[in-house]
Structure 1
Amino acid sequence: MSYKFIYFDLDDTLLDHQSAEAAGLKDVHTHFDLFDDVSSQELIDVYHEVNRKQWSLYSQAKVSRKELQRNRFELTLKEFGLNESRYEEVGTFYMQAYRNHWKWMDGAKEAYYNIIEKYPAGILTNGFAETQRKKFEAFDLYNSAHTTVISEEVGVLKPHPDVFAHATEKSGVDRDEILYVGDSLNSDVKGGTDFGWNVAWFTQNGEAEKHQIADFVFDDFMDLKNLLKV
């Protein structure tokens, strides 16, 4: 297949969101004596599950963005029987700490810069718009990518087809000429393939039947470079 445009997901594809999230929560655990009777791993595990559920509700328009931001820390504190009224203080500190731990995924920076020498490329991401814009700035993605799309600014989140339609229009090519590189089975792989994009799934998932949904499956960016001959 000859691709004419490459879109990349951002979090846990180009940038290591999971490690930044965990490191930010460890900073929260250290900073607040509120968590003295909770281990840092317990905090990470509970927050991760609460946050995952809240993002799912948000993507279905069942909670607002403001409710998501409140609920993920208020409900985490509630889960541990801690003072729920401190959700805003904890949440603000977390966002500052999270930013301090942003970094590329292993092999992603070299692959990205090799690929954009040969192909026009863009970024398509969920996430809070102001946070994602700060990442674009911090990693020079505004200058290096041909286009950037934050689903929140479109008005719906991946895997909604409107996001992919908007991104296709911005790419200037037909949908079947796009390769989307992403890590999420639902948001990226199913969302992209349902819309008619080609998808390269970045995953450690070993379930072969799920691999068949994607056009290409890889766990090392060297494999993506080989696929695209860069």
Structure 2
Amino acid sequence: MWFYSFLVFMTTLACYIFIYHEVNTILNFHTWTSGLSPHATQMPSVTIIDGSRIRVLFLLSVGLFAIFLMSIVWLRATMRQINRPIQAIQHAIDRLAQGKLNETVMIERGDEFGQIGSGLNELAANLQELLLYVWKQTGQSMTLLDQMKHKLDLPDQNGSSPAEQREKMEQLVKSIESLREMAKAYVFYDVCLDGDKAIAIEQPGSKSTISSPPV
């Protein structure tokens, strides 16, 4: 922000010096040509030109100062319009990293920020769908494992003892339970995992809306 302000200030100052130099050169030339005229009175001409120079200097100062202030206001407004969607996107990324899939970012703009916001929302939706699929499939696997427990007392075709089979099944059960706990650790947009059930939420998610700047 300060860099752009400094750039605007230096540009304004350069324009001021250039314009004042050109006006001063023209007035000096007019003074010199008036002094060469035999019918002209030199003192009144010099007084008028000095007054004109002061007025030009004042008008230039006021005009360029107004331009400088307007540039500062425009820069601040532009930076605000850029910072707001960036902060919203950063917040959404932080929430995704924390496993919070219940927030969406609605950046109502047609530029790159709007596309990034839509991409983040789509990413969260796809991640939720994948996690719910994992949770569903692991639930079915747990049911199948429960049905297979009565077969543990019989040795399998490879000659494994019931104790070895039970140990392998316990390891498999722990792995499946870890996957289910991982899925349940996420906060979903429109469902809530309660035990072995997925319950729909009446008021899904929360939205953070960033509107487009007024034209």
TM-score clears 0.5: no
Bigger Rg, structure 1 or 2: 2
TM-score of Structure 1 vs Structure 2, range by shorter chain = under 0.3
Name the one with the larger helix percent: 2
